[in-house]
Amino acid sequence: MHVEDRGYQFSDGVYEVCEIHQGRLVDETRHLDRLERSLRELKIRMPMDRKALSHVLREVVRRNRVRHGLVYMQVTRGVSRRDHPFPSPEVQPALVVTAKSIDPAKGVKMAEKGIAVTTAPDNRWERVDIKTVGLLPNVLARQDAQEKGAQEAWLVDADGNVTEGSSTNAWIIKDGALITRHADRGILRGITRTVVVEVLAAEGLRLEERPFSVEEAKKADEAFVTSATKIVMPVVSIDGQAIGGGRPGPLVKRLRGAFRRHSELAAA
Ligand code: PLP
């Protein structure tokens, strides 16, 4: 990376993380749609056309021989002498693509046990719907969670409502209804979240997209988080208080199973 890459100096860039399952990209189309949207919102050009980018992703996965894992792509506004306004004339956006293998047994083990979450103030900017590389508040919240022995931090707005996790969307289940914050500019519209919404409809389950408070979450029957990395991951405690007896509940287990049947696997 160049020292004057604007991603490095200003967090002036966006990224995507896509799961690789059985050597194939999961929900690639939706991830590339969101990448294009993030870039549009920041007035950054696509670094290459979509077909070429799709080819690059596959090549990186193939050459790294990844069967299960993640592909990471990052696009920044490019390299230019440090100055706040966009470079003029425009420079070529910088693209980085990496792929890494993850032992699938790790996620299975984690899901059997469930994870602990802590809560932290959501002090991010007002456009967290854009997947920018500016993640310092998320990093600090996650570090705080880790120091408290938890695996994720739920971010809480000024009204006491949970917005989302540091790198996941947040869900609770009460009396058979699945509750997650509505997707506006206050959360990242997770691809996994969108697929789970479709899974719920297919499974005949009830969805409520609305804010929920930390207090309401602590009284939930079940809780979970969603992301490309964690898929559907049960939450078994919030700030040290056990949820659903401190064990993954039946609906979360069912959803985790159903997710794989509904998520799209890109053609090899
Ligand atoms: N919310 C935040 C802040 C994230 O960083 C992520 C993923 O990185 C998500 C939600 C989940 O999004 P997805 O399901 O697309 O991975």
Task: Give pLDDT, residue 220.
Answer: 98
Residue nearest to atom 3 of ligand 1 (CA): 167
pLDDT digits (tens, 9 = 90+) for 239-257: 999 999 999 999 999 999 9
| Strand 169-174, strand 161-165: pairing | unpaired
Q: Whole domain around residue 207: which residue ranges?
A: 107-262
Residue 159 confidence (pLDDT) above 50: yes
| Ligand 1 centroid to residue 143 C-alpha, Å | 17
In a domain, 268, yes or no: no
- 254: exposed, middle or buried (Cβ count in 10 Å: 0-12, 13-18, 19+): middle
**Which whole number is the average pLDDT over 152-159?**
98
Q: Which pLDDT value is given to residue 268?
A: 47
Q: Phi first, then psi: what are they for 110, rounded to 5°? A: -65, -40
Residue-level pLDDT at 262? 80
40 and 116 assigned to the same domain? no
The 10s digit of each residue's pLDDT in 112-125 is 999 999 999 999 99
Q: Where among 85, 102, 119 does a domain terminate? A: 102
User: Catalytic annotation on 131?
Assistant: yes
Is residue 1 one of the residues assigned to a domain?
A: no
Q: What is the pTM of this model?
A: 0.97
Same domain assignment for residues 85 and 140: no
Binding-site residues, ligand 1, Cβ < 6 A: 17, 164, 167-169, 188, 190-193, 226-228
pLDDT bucket at 266, cuts 50 / 70 / 90: low
Cβ neighbours around 239 below 10 Å, total: 14
